[in-house]
Structure 1
């Protein structure tokens, strides 16, 4: 995508709120001209050195000093965006930040859109699209593992892997095009066995990438763990015990949790979304029925279900219980609660169940270990260097795999150079879309809309 003459934009680069400092970023062809109108400094603006911070004063249109600031200039193309860029570091007052933005807009700036600074960096060739998308993955990372892979992608590791796939396919395409353009007496006969083997080797690598990416996407989103069971079985108490603080309303009255409560937490380095759901019972009132309906909807999204019931009570909601226990797409843990109410010597233990007291925190360690094993089963991967971390890239990777599988199928059935060449070209174009070498303005806007303003 070609770089255009962009207008000058501004936005806070730091989160709004009281803090030690706040940073306002300005980028575009008129950056230095606009900033010079709101900054007082003991130096001519033309003498500012690249990347050298200068003490200055933020002033309004009446030359009144608003704040003492640091001014850091970056001359294009050697800046983040590839344009002239200035960062103004003010004291972290929302009032000062708002006033700075107001003054910049009054003097010719426009408030930046979501992700517009990074979008300009991509358009000016400062980074490829995979690296640009990795910035938001770094910002949104909830665990060290996700951050590690996001940083590798930001440094270009994933793009290198995709480029290797593209290069291998380009080599095959060149051989096929030679066979199409020249008579057989001038070129070797097409070795379909080698071409098929090469494509199948690439498919295996891509399938491994997809499998690992799905696991990582699950962890990035948060492994969804549901606390399910009859009313008054102790789900809210167990959730509070797991969180180690009271965030859910706990009551002796059956049916207290009438909707669902969710919390995010990190368990041994794994991002988890924990849901305390409405109790399941047949004779529910209208409000409870709405909560139970939402619980059933959550079951369709769940990765792990913890089915909780009190010891020495009959199993209710047998359909839900049976579905959870037999659904291969959901990891299942059956937990028997409130064992503190019974003589421990008379409790009849079964190996496939975990016996706890959420209230007295009995056997909670065992439950957490079993839960951790389930989480690791869902997210564990062999040691890999790079991984796709967003849904757009994953969707196109799946499309690439399907395209190459169709190519192999056609080689097995009707190996015509023209047809196979066309299909390999299609696969190469999919890789170009992932890397941003072939992408529309609409697709680009959809990607950068995920970013925050100021990035």
Structure 2
């Protein structure tokens, strides 16, 4: 059921600022707005055209609260599909509260989290995946996550799913028609064309499912664990990457006793760097806890940066190789970047020997910030950004990913049934389930609990 009451909320972040925007949406939004607004040119908001701006004052009886600018958006040509007005007032928290309280007394109620976007969905202005992209767009903090959210909000993902669903629905209708004429033993659905469609759907679903691996890390940031023995320069490297003194640097081994995390955007992709406690044998209880946490962070990381003191390689080279093998064996699927720090202390022949011993080594000087850009480029190479450059659809939402997996499973069942001449009524059941999963993504199939879970994560006012 689509609500028709009028809701109000602050659409800009809470707190003082230069300007604040208060949004009202609902059947009587313009009527309520008009009851508190006095135009400097004596305009009646009820008689004004949609998508127009009006200067005036918000009046509470005889008291003037503020000089404001009112925007009018008449349904269905508004964000929510309903009559909507936005009041741009001065950003004083007192003024914001006074205007909202006045509107509540005039018949509005406070909007729930995400209720404006929920109404846009219920009124057909957005499908469910586009509505979810609104939240992703608001929370995007780098170029890549912003680009993905914009592409999804514009309907790129929805259109792809809707096209597949429509084609599958057409064949489902023909299969159902065959069931109505089962006694005549006729076929309305061309089996060859149906098989080609299933192959195409399977291909698209697999591509979308595969994209989640990239999309998920782009959306949430790629965790990178910086590990190695104490006092090899892990904290110095973190500071060099972030270009600030984020971690404590000391000549005393074991200074970093807990993990330190910070974020950096490289080439539009977010990376979360984790400076860990040094790995070594120790009887210090607190340091031991830090080392245990280090291995937990390696488990959680997408990429592992192993740092060692290249100037000590002659002495500790054998021990280093043992540590490297240990990490490779324990985490065989994680990309491993091997970095020799303090390379500014090496002679040319030592550099050549190191490269011969460890061909994949990257030599840097964290203290002098030499080679740091090479490290950034290498980290960026682990991310498949080709899909972003080609503007392909990338899945970032776990709910969508789950529905795509289930839809693929049903499509493969239908394919198997088609290849083994399974009866049409059994195939029809699997087709219906695939259609159901497609509908779950775009919101053609939904329930109140699902909507509640999705929109509860939105901010108030959106």
TM-score by length of 1: 0.90
Q: CA deviation at 1:162?
A: 0.9
2:337 — aligned with what?
Answer: 333
Label 1:107 to 1:259 Cα distance change in 2 as closer, same or farther (>3 A).
farther
Asked whether the 8 Å contact 1:176–1:417 carries over to 2, the reply is yes
State how 1:197-208 maps to structure 2 within 5 Å.
Answer: 197-208=196-207
1:161 — aligned with what?
Answer: 160
Question: Match of 2:240, SS?
Answer: helix
Asked whether the 8 Å contact 2:31–2:46 carries over to 1, the reply is no
Q: CA deviation at 1:282?
A: 2.1
Q: Distance in 2 between matches of 1:282 and 1:193?
A: 66
Asked whether the 8 Å contact 1:11–1:453 carries over to 2, the reply is yes
Q: Residue by residue, what CA displacement relative to the aligned partner does 1:391-438 show, whole Å, maximum 9, x if unpaired?
A: 211211111112212222334446111100110011011111111011
Q: Distance in 1 between matches of 2:246 and 2:429?
A: 58
Q: CA deviation at 1:121?
A: 1.0
Q: CA deviation at 1:190?
A: 6.6
1:133 — aligned with what?
Answer: 132
Q: Distance in 1 between matches of 2:99 and 2:326?
A: 58
1:144 — aligned with what?
Answer: 143
State how 1:426-445 maps to structure 2 within 5 Å.
Answer: 426-445=433-452
1:235 — aligned with what?
Answer: 234
Work out whether 1:353 is the aligned partner of 2:357: no
Q: Distance in 2 between matches of 1:94 and 1:323?
A: 57
Q: Distance in 2 between matches of 1:345 and 1:334?
A: 19
Q: Distance in 2 between matches of 1:157 and 1:207?
A: 17
State how 1:106-117 maps to structure 2 within 5 Å.
Answer: 106-117=105-116
Q: Residue by residue, what CA displacement relative to the aligned partner does 1:147-190 show, whole Å, maximum 9, x if unpaired?
A: 33322322222222111111221122123223222147573387
Q: CA deviation at 1:64?
A: 2.6
Work out whether 1:386 is the aligned partner of 2:384: no
Q: CA deviation at 1:142?
A: 3.1
Asked whether the 8 Å contact 1:280–1:317 carries over to 2, the reply is no
Aligned residues: 450
Q: Distance in 1 between matches of 2:91 and 2:220?
A: 31
Q: CA deviation at 1:11?
A: 1.2
Q: Relative to structure 2, which stretch is displaced further, 142-151 or 153-162?
A: 142-151
2:460 — aligned with what?
Answer: 453
Work out whether 1:66 is the aligned partner of 2:65: yes
Q: CA deviation at 1:197?
A: 3.9
Asked whether the 8 Å contact 1:192–1:415 carries over to 2, the reply is no
TM-score by length of 2: 0.89
Asked whether the 8 Å contact 2:344–2:365 carries over to 1, the reply is yes
Structure 2 segments unaligned to the other structure (5+ residues): none
Q: Relative to structure 2, which stretch is displaced further, 131-140 or 35-44?
A: 35-44
Q: Residue by residue, what CA displacement relative to the aligned partner does 1:28-83 show, whole Å, maximum 9, x if unpaired?
A: 2342343345433333343343221111112345x332321101122233322122
Q: Distance in 1 between matches of 2:333 and 2:141?
A: 24
Q: Distance in 2 between matches of 1:253 and 1:37?
A: 70
1:373 — aligned with what?
Answer: 381
1:40 — aligned with what?
Answer: 38
Of residues 392, 398, 402 in structure 1, which corresponds to 2:405?
398
Of residues 23, 26, 48 in structure 2, which corresponds to 1:25?
23
Q: Residue by residue, what CA displacement relative to the aligned partner does 1:109-150 show, whole Å, maximum 9, x if unpaired?
A: 322221110001111222221221221222223333433332
Asked whether the 8 Å contact 1:231–1:278 carries over to 2, the reply is yes
Of residues 416, 420, 423 in structure 2, which corresponds to 1:409?
416
Question: Match of 2:383, SS?
Answer: helix
2:432 — aligned with what?
Answer: 425
Q: Distance in 2 between matches of 1:117 and 1:85?
A: 10
Q: CA deviation at 1:388?
A: 2.8
Of residues 317, 324, 327 in structure 2, which corresponds to 1:324?
327
Work out whether 1:54 is the aligned partner of 2:54: yes
Label 1:328 to 1:191 Cα distance change in 2 as closer, same or farther (>3 A).
farther
Q: Residue by residue, what CA displacement relative to the aligned partner does 1:328-378 show, whole Å, maximum 9, x if unpaired?
A: 4311111111233444544432222112211112332332332222234xx
Asked whether the 8 Å contact 1:281–1:317 carries over to 2, the reply is no
Work out whether 1:13 is the aligned partner of 2:11: yes
Q: Relative to structure 2, which stretch is displaced further, 206-215 or 147-156?
A: 147-156
Choose between structure 1 and 2: higher helix proportion: 2
Q: Relative to structure 2, which stretch is displaced further, 301-310 or 341-350?
A: 341-350
Q: CA deviation at 1:211?
A: 1.1
Q: CA deviation at 1:294?
A: 2.8
Label 1:26 to 1:188 Cα distance change in 2 as closer, same or farther (>3 A).
closer
State how 1:158-307 maps to structure 2 within 5 Å.
Answer: 158-183=157-182, 185=184, 187-188=186-187, 192=191, 194-283=193-282, 285-307=284-306
Q: Distance in 2 between matches of 1:239 and 1:282?
A: 23
Asked whether the 8 Å contact 2:174–2:188 carries over to 1, the reply is no
Structure 1 segments unaligned to the other structure (5+ residues): none
Question: Match of 1:213, SS?
Answer: helix
Q: CA deviation at 1:244?
A: 1.2
